[in-house]
Amino acid sequence: MGLELLLFRDSVASQDFNFYIQGDLNQMGLQRRFLQTSCFIEVQQSDVRPVIKQEDVKRALISIFNDKIEGWWHYLDKYIELNICTKEQFNEELKLSVKRNRENLQ
């Protein structure tokens, strides 16, 4: 079990923290640190998953989307719901992201 799992497995966030960050453990950790350090959003832990307050969700997702933080693609429905982007814009950004990743591998 990883250190982060051991540290947070029994933690429970307060009730006003109810939006769960999405992704694998690495992606969630990167998003958590980004939100805390770049966006100054308070992040708590609920078991192994980071959670934020509902009032911070739109600002957090705008920042994650604009900066393409690892795991940004997990929020398509929320992006559309909050008018952060359209499905077409999301798909275009995803294509560009895949293209950049392929170029970086070469």
Q: What is the pLDDT of residues 22-43, one digit of tens each?
A: 999 999 999 999 999 999 999 9
Proportion of the chain above pLDDT 70, given as a percent: 88
Quote the pTM value.
Answer: 0.84
Distance of CA 21 to the CA centre of its chain: 5
Distance of CA 97 to the CA centre of its chain: 16
What are the beta bridge partners of residue 19?
Answer: 52
Question: Domain ranges in the chain?
Answer: 3-105
